[in-house]
Amino acid sequence: MSGDLVKVRDLAVRFVSRDRTVHAVRGVDFDLAAGEVLCILGESGSGKSVTLRALMRLNPAARTLMEGTVQVAGRDVVAASEREMEEIRGSLVSMVFQEPMTALDPVFTIGQQIGETVMRHEGLSKAEARKRALELLDLVQIPSAERRLAAYPHELSGGLRQRAMIAIALSCRPKLLLADEPTTALDATVQIQILLLLRRLQQELGMGVIFVTHDLGVAGEIADRIAVMYAGRFVEEGSVREVMRKARHPYTQGLLGATVHEGMRGKRLVTIAGAPPNLETPPGGMPPDICAFAPRCERADAACEQGVPALDGAFGTHRARCIHQIAEAVTC
């Protein structure tokens, strides 16, 4: 699906130090339309959060090499100066982080942190900023909003802190909202409340959203499209219905098989054998450029070691990076 809000082509992110190089993201392509929700799904270490942070250039500058094309609302993020990025962050793109207790400043009140953002980007007076902060706390359904403006982060529950983090992210009416596993640290009841809130706000404000998670249930609840990531690459992409009902890549099939859902009482969970690959460069050069999932895949054969298959569109909008699935699509 083509979109005009976000356009990413051949994105690669490497973390370089004196003794090693980590290839965290390797050739990621995707588009996002205004008002659309894309969920990037995968296990820890797959490159999800690094991809998300690359859209705001938040990966550590001193040791990060970023290549490819990243455009947000027509702005070139890769080529932008740091001064330009300061304008882009907050006003055009905002992020909701996984743990608000570390993302929020502990020595400033919630009202001060929201006010600082809108005064910086929109030039509001202190009184106008306070009024906007109160409106935002009401928008994210924080009870006793007037009193919460004067509260410090440690005085709020986990759910209220996350709502406050969302309020700060929305304070300058961004076109794109990035959410990095924002419900992971919350209990199930609060998690559902936050997901429903994000979905409602996204629809009301018309934002594009990229949501990172390792939870299939969360992905199914909030997303329009799902991109499954493994070892720094997208291995499958499609609508929620396509990916959940007819997974094409063996890794996605393994994730679905290992997920607990209704009606599984007495059944054995399917597990994915092995462990994710090491993305560091070993002595002598890069690892062989083959299908990264092949060592863990039950269907792998010699053909899987001949190169990395493309994220093929043989199934239309449902794409999978697997030579066996591509061959089946061609012959059916």
pLDDT band at 102 (very low <50, low <70, confident <90, very high): confident
Question: Token pair of 258, please?
Answer: 């290992």
DSSP per residue over 262-280, as a string? TT-TTPPPP---S-PPP-B
- Among 151, 49, 64, 132, CA closest to 95: 49
263-278 mean pLDDT: 80
pLDDT at 167 over 80: yes
111-125 mean pLDDT: 89
Give the pLDDT score at 331: 45
Neighbours of 230 (CB within 10 A): 25
180: phi > 0 → left, psi -120 to 50 → alpha, else beta; which? beta
pLDDT band at 101 (very low <50, low <70, confident <90, very high): confident
Pair 51, 232: CB distance under 8 Å? no
* Cβ-based neighbours of 171, under 8 Å, separated by 6 or more: 90, 94, 114, 117, 118, 132, 133, 136
Give the pLDDT score at 282: 56
* Residue with the larger pLDDT of the pair 194 and 37: 37
105-119 mean pLDDT: 92
Return the domain boundaries, the chain.
Answer: 1-92+174-268, 104-172, 269-331
pLDDT at 288 over 90: no
- Using the 8-state DSSP alphabet, how is residue 113 labeled? H
- What span, in angstroms and rounded, lies between the C-alpha atoms of 39 and 212? 6
Give the pLDDT score at 330: 41
- What span, in angstroms and rounded, lies between the C-alpha atoms of 139 and 145? 10
* Residue with the larger pLDDT of the pair 263 and 5: 5
- Among 180, 183, 179, 157, CA closest to 170: 179
- What span, in angstroms and rounded, lies between the C-alpha atoms of 306 and 309? 9
| CB < 8 Å & 24+ apart, contacts of 265-272 | 272/296
pLDDT at 186 over 90: no
Q: What is the distance, to the nearest Å, from the Cα of residue 286 to the centroid of all Cα atoms in its chain?
A: 26
pLDDT band at 220 (very low <50, low <70, confident <90, very high): confident
Q: What is the distance, to the nearest Å, from the Cα of residue 176 to the centroid of all Cα atoms in its chain?
A: 12
- What span, in angstroms and rounded, lies between the C-alpha atoms of 243 and 252? 8
CA-to-CA dists, residue 180 to 12, 188, 262, 311, angstroms: 19, 17, 27, 24
pLDDT at 291 over 70: yes
Give the pLDDT score at 191: 84
pLDDT tens per residue, range 62-85: 999 999 999 999 999 999 999 999
In which residue are the tokens 């990095």 written? 180
Provide the terminal-to-terminal Cα distance of the chain, rounded to the nearest Å: 23
Give the pLDDT score at 275: 86
Give the pLDDT score at 289: 66
Q: What radius of gyration do the chain's Cα atoms show?
A: 21
Give the pLDDT score at 192: 87
Give the pLDDT score at 2: 44
Helix (H, G, I), strand (E, B) or coil at 226: strand
The domain over range 1-92+174-268 is classified in CATH as 3.40.50.740: no
Pair 13, 65: CB distance under 8 Å? yes
Question: CA angle 210-169-102, nearest 5°?
Answer: 95
pLDDT at 106 over 90: yes
Give the pLDDT score at 229: 96
* Residue with the larger pLDDT of the pair 324 and 39: 39
